């Protein structure tokens, strides 16, 4: 599929230029909260895509539960996915603080591509690029951009109920809203297992175990490893209306200090598919962070709606 490869190359080149342009470092402002917001908002925007039963590994294009369906015959399997989402949310604790929480509206824009070619047999490759923009209405100093570039391998164990094992590299860069100053960057390797459970054509679930191991990054005090258990459920209520639920519990040991956090996210969403590639969606989520350093403990509620486009080639 030369055309698909050329298109993905262009997308990755554009993302790389954006990354290089933002390498000027600035003093971090609420860096740790920025990283936490990115992780939490990935769940919110990922909920919008109302994924099919997930047989592929987590990628930046989803809420840590894969969207690609790898059980389709070769003639129907489409390896390249282009996606975009625009949503408006209200958050009860924009700064993710322990006390003195301030609510605010924010706009989330997300676009990118995932290419998952079959390499041989049950082995797949994965290359992805994701750009996200977050703009707060009143607390504009919290606005930031997030860029992810990565890739890896997936192996499907058919004899084990389509259990998948995966390993992927990811580069993440956070910048201020103007993209002129970097706030945070990290390189990680994600290892994991994922198991789908298909109860019927209308009901499915997925569970996953992930380990994100930090290789490098800045600033040092914000770097952490991440070990997570995830579970998702999806029901097709009608031919066009889908409901989904997602739960994650993660342990985050920080590398530069003795801080240890336990983070939980619970979310629910609805998506109405106007066409096979365009949908409107709504979601609500709650996040709770419990840290051995009480300053970093917080809770937050988010709710919002948006539109999504998903094209497969």
First to last CA, the chain: 9
**Distance separating alpha carbons of residues 268 and 242, to the nearest angstrom:** 11
Q: Residue 76 phi/psi, 5° resolution?
A: -105, -20
pLDDT of residue 288: 95
Residue whose structure tokens are 């625009």: 86
C-alpha 194/C-alpha 231 separation (Å) is: 10
- Give the domain range for residue 198: 2-312
The CATH number for 218's domain is 2.40.160.40
Closest CA to 53 of 196, 157, 255: 196
pTM as predicted = 0.82
pLDDT at 44: 62
Contact by Cβ (8 Å): 143, 137: no
Neighbours of 234 (CB within 10 A): 22
pLDDT confidence of residue 43: 65
Structure token pair of residue 17: 């230029």
Please state the domain count of the chain.
1
Check residue 74 and give its pLDDT: 56
Task: Tell me the pairing of strands 123-136 and 298-312.
Answer: unpaired
Q: 247: which 2 tokens?
A: 């739960």
CB 128 within 8 A of CB 58: no
Blockwise average pLDDT, block size 10, the chain, 313 residues: 44 40 40 74 55 39 43 68 93 91 94 92 93 94 93 93 93 93 94 92 91 95 94 93 93 95 94 93 94 94 93 88
How far CA 31 is from CA of 185, 275, 297, in Å, comes to: 10, 39, 15
Helix, strand, coil shares of the chain, percent, nearest 5, are 15, 55, 30
pLDDT of residue 36: 80
- Residue 310: count of CB within 10 angstroms of its CB: 20
- The answer to whether 137 and 163 are in contact (CB under 8 A) is no
């Amino acid at each position: 599929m030369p055309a698909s490869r050329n298109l993905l190359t262009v997308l990755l080149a554009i993302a790389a230029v954006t990354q290089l342009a933002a390498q000027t470092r600035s003093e971090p402002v609420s860096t740790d909260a920025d990283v936490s917001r990115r992780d939490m908002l990935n769940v919110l925007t990922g909920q919008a895509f109302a994924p099919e039963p997930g047989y592929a590994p987590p990628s930046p294009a989803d809420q840590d539960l894969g969207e690609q369906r790898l059980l389709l015959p070769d003639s129907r399997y489409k390896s390249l996915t282009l996606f975009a989402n625009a949503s408006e949310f209200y958050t009860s604790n924009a700064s993710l603080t322990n006390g003195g929480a301030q609510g605010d509206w924010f706009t989330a824009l997300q676009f990118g591509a995932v290419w998952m070619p079959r390499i041989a047999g049950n082995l797949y490759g994965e290359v992805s690029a994701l750009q996200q923009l977050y703009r707060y209405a009143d607390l504009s100093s919290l606005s930031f951009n997030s860029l992810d570039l990565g890739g890896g391998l997936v192996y499907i164990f058919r004899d084990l109920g389509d259990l998948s094992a995966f390993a992927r590299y990811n580069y993440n860069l956070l910048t201020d809203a103007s993209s002129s100053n970097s706030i945070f960057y990290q390189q990680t390797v994600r290892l994991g297992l994922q198991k789908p459970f298909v109860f019927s054509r209308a009901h499915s679930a997925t569970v996953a175990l992930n380990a994100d191991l930090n290789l490098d990054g800045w600033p040092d005090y914000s770097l952490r490893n991440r070990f997570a258990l995830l579970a998702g459920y999806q029901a097709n209520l009608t031919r066009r209306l889908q409901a989904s639920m997602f739960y994650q519990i993660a342990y985050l040991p920080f590398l530069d200090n003795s801080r240890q956090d336990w983070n939980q996210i619970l979310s629910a969403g609805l998506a109405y598919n106007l066409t096979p590639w365009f949908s409107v969606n709504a979601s609500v989520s709650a996040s709770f962070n419990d840290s051995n350093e009480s300053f970093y403990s917080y809770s937050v509620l988010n709710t919002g709606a948006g539109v999504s486009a998903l094209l497969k080639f």
